[in-house]
Structure 1
Amino acid sequence: MKISELSARSGVALPTVKYYLREGLLMPGEPTSATGARYDGDHIRRLGLIRALSGAGLTIPRIRAVLRLIEATEYPEFETFGRAIAQLPPYVDVAPDAEFPRAKKVLEFLGQVYEPRYVAVAHLEQALIGLEDAGLTLSETRLRAYGDHIRAIAEAEIELMPTASTEEAIRYAVLGTAMYEPVLTALRRLAHQDLAAAKHSDNAECGQTLNEEN
């Protein structure tokens, strides 16, 4: 297909398609003349991924980093996904020799792997420091409840991860993290609301029963 048809079928404006080509986000088409090229379904899929990453709030440099990871072969799968997730906010600068004692202690308690190069370890360390600064603690009871239930969510997500290609897997990991985390936060708050409402209803019924007995 010509670039005009690529634009029409992908829903991406022609100037934007040309911009992605110039920036190297979209791979070149097969040359058909000095000024023309042919594009195919791979280009439509790549444009869809670029649009999705942009919609998740990633800047052009970070989108480029994710796309490069799709083509990369020098990293183990674990590190590839970690580097892709690192393109999502919140952003942290992690020194190669950085250590995260609070996060390490938590992960050891949960029996999970501690890999300081994985950006979420730095995120956890910052969150734990924030708790300390606020005068709050993370009890073993709360930590165990969090760890067990979040692991169950993670197991379900990993089970659903596509395995046909690295591109699909990274798309799932990055977009899934960006788009589903707000859903999890909202569901948690709504569960709080529902439990509080049920407790209030139980207390009200108990009070009414006591009044009737009196």
Structure 2
Amino acid sequence: MATLNLNASSSSSSSSPTLEASRFLHTPYYCEENVYMLCKNLSEDGIAKSDSSDLFVVFISNEKKQIPLWNQKASHRADGVILWDYHVICVQKRKESYLPHLVWDLDSTLPFPSPLPTYVAEAIQPSFQLFSEFKRVFRIVHAPIFLRNFASDRRHMKDSDGNWNSPPPSYDVIVAEDGTVHNLNEYMEMSSADVVKTIGADTVETVLAQKLGVLVSETQLEELFSLIS
């Protein structure tokens, strides 16, 4: 994950239990691995289900690899806006159906975790008018599937001479259950042309069954999660 640069605004808030983000592993610019480890830790600590079935991994990017998010720690602006090439967060379904889903974003200055409606309003800001090249696409993947299939040998973080663009995590590279050593590009590649046309029960079934989940637009994000029971 790398930064680029942009313009902005802000809104909303809602109550939910908060934790110190510092208790979880975090390596700057390795958001996909941070979320992979976060899902494991949330399940091991009893904050999420032991099989991670209440967790969803969300990749955010677009064709041009430039997506704005607000309230990000890496920003040098007062409103926290930054232009990432891609970003990855975790969404947790609450046991109580009347409570909003929670967003776990280790790179955000918002409460950790934040209710999904708050995160959408404050970090995604769908009401902010963006040029088409900044429109965001969201890949929703069920965490149990992601934890079995994701792999990264961190090749995307090296320059042409093989030097690190940013220091890597201290733990071993992540290898998929089937032995795949690198497939991050499969999760990152996304186009607005491939976004589902409508959200329904079949969309949820796809998320719960497919390795790469489904692609939705920012206006469909909350709708999809509202259907996940």
Which has the higher Rg, Structure 1 or Structure 2? 1
TM-score by length of 1: 0.26
Greater fraction of residues in helix: 1
Higher relative contact order (CA 8 A, sep 6+): 2
Greater fraction of residues in strand: 2
